[in-house]
Amino acid sequence: MMEVTFYDRESEIKEIMDTMRTKPRLITFVYGPINSGKTELISHLIKELPDRYAPFYVNLRGRFITGYEDFLNVLFEIDEGGVIDNVSEYAQSLVKDLKILSGIPIPLNLFEQIFEKKDKSKDMFKYIERFFGEMSKKRVPVLIIDELQVIGDLKIDGLLIYKLFNFFVRLTKELHLAHIFVVTSDSLFIEHVYSQAMLEGRCRYLLVDDFERETTMDFLDKYQFSDAEKEAAWDFCGGKPVYLVELVNSGDREKKACEMFNVTSGRIETELKVVNELGAKITIGDSICDVHYENLIDILRKFVDRNEVAINEVDEISKRYLVKENILFVDPLSKMIKPQSQLNLHAIREVVRDA
């Protein structure tokens, strides 16, 4: 097996480091199509961060969160090392040799206190603010939440996500206490965030997309791809890192690329067939809406001779369905919609040719 090392992302790393060199002012939303390398980029950055930063990385992927209790358990890393009441002393004791933590450290007794409170969010935010406040005397706290959309719909006395955003605005714009990064592959979530008045002028967006053609070719050169293998890789997989990594370790790379293409086109074909034969519904707000097969096909046909189309060329129901099914990706900043990958683009072209 060839070990694939972290590749490129120079401009994204520069942008993030430039942001972190100034005092925290805005929340940064890191978004991009699925499997484009967002989590990999963040993990790489965390490892390389100079000592003056204290990163806390929370990943909500795969976590089953149905209430505050679950959320608190993911957000915090419980420290069972004895009863501690003084948050300042606790933060100072950790600051010297802080490891990379998958949660904000909290002594068990303080965690239990928050857990017992009726208004948990108030106490949870109060603790984090004090902890970061203390920590920031020596190091700059960096809070990264991956896959935040997992709690997008969680309602307890109103939406938790709005309370969190308000708190993040406080930590950045008002107190300049911590850098906040929110990472997501859910482009509908980003589109929603983008339209929130409460976040206007309080956040920035960083797109982490699949590699460009030139970067892809340079990456493949590192692993001794022949010209034919490189062309097959680009034609079928484009610059999606996860596919490229898979090709690196395949015996017959051209055949593997072709197989991946067949799997994706097969999946899209089946999904469309199901809608055609059985229909489908999606929920938008409080409405349950019918998905129309003909509309889906009309939209996908637009990609026969274009790589992307404008958001306003596509009806809302079909757009949401195709994004939810990971066929299309919406970029609210450029107001464009494109397939989730080059692989999807080619697969769409093949599927609509036969539809």
**Could you give the CA distance from residue 106 to residue 127 in angstroms, rounded to a whole number?**
9
DSSP 159-215: BHHHHHHHHHHIIIIIT---EEEEEES-HHHHHHHHT-GGGTTTEEEEE-PPPPHHH
**241 binding partner (options ligand ATP, Mg ion, none; Cβ < 5 to 8 Å by kind):** ligand ATP
Rounded least distance, CB 13 to ligand ATP, Å:
10
The verdict on 121 binding Mg ion (CB under 5 A) reads: no
CB under 5 to 8 A by kind: which of ligand ATP, Mg ion, none does 264 bind?
none
What are the DSSP calls for 75-101, one per residue? HEEEE-SS----HHHHHHHHHTT---B
Residues 6+ apart with CB under 8 A from 179: 19, 20, 24, 28, 53, 140, 141, 142, 143, 172
Closest CA to 180 of 76, 75, 55: 55
Find which of ligand ATP, Mg ion, none residue 55 binds, CB within 5 to 8 Å per kind.
Answer: none
Q: Which span (35-43, 73-81, 95-103, 298-306) binds ligand ATP, by CB under 6 A?
A: 35-43
Interaction mask 172-211, ligand ATP, x per CB under 6 A: -------------x--------------------------
* 355 contacts ligand ATP (rule: CB under 6 A): no
Helix, strand, coil tally for the chain in percent (to 5)? 50, 15, 30
Nearer to ligand ATP, 40 or 79 (CB): 40
**88 DSSP β-pair partners:** none
Residues comprising the chain, all counted: 355
Q: What letter does residue 25 receive in the DSSP assignment?
A: -
76 alpha-carbon distance from chain centroid = 20
Backbone angles phi, psi at 146, to 5 degrees: -95, 140
CB of 9 to ligand ATP, least distance (A): 5
Nearer to ligand ATP, 34 or 46 (CB): 34
Q: Any contact of residue 38 with ligand ATP (CB under 6 A)?
A: yes
**Are 347 and 315 in contact, with CB atoms under 8 Å apart?**
no
Query: Rule CB under 6 A: is residue 246 a binding residue for ligand ATP?
Result: no
With CB cut-offs between 5 and 8 Å by kind, which of ligand ATP, Mg ion, none does residue 295 bind? none
Question: What is the per-residue binding string for Mg ion in 33-62, x denoting contact by CB under 5 A?
Answer: -----xx-----------------------
Taking the complex as a whole, the smallest distance from the CB of residue 337 to ligand ATP amounts, in Å, to 17
In angstroms, rounded to a whole number, what is the distance separating the alpha carbons of residues 286 and 273? 27
Among 28, 36, 59, 342, binds ligand ATP (CB under 6 A): 36
Instruction: Specify the stretch interacting with ligand ATP by CB under 6 A; choose among 5-13, 91-99, 277-285, 291-299.
Output: 5-13
| 339 forms part of the interface with ligand ATP (CB under 6 A) | no
Residues that bind ligand ATP (CB under 6 A): 4, 6-9, 32, 34-40, 185, 241-242, 245
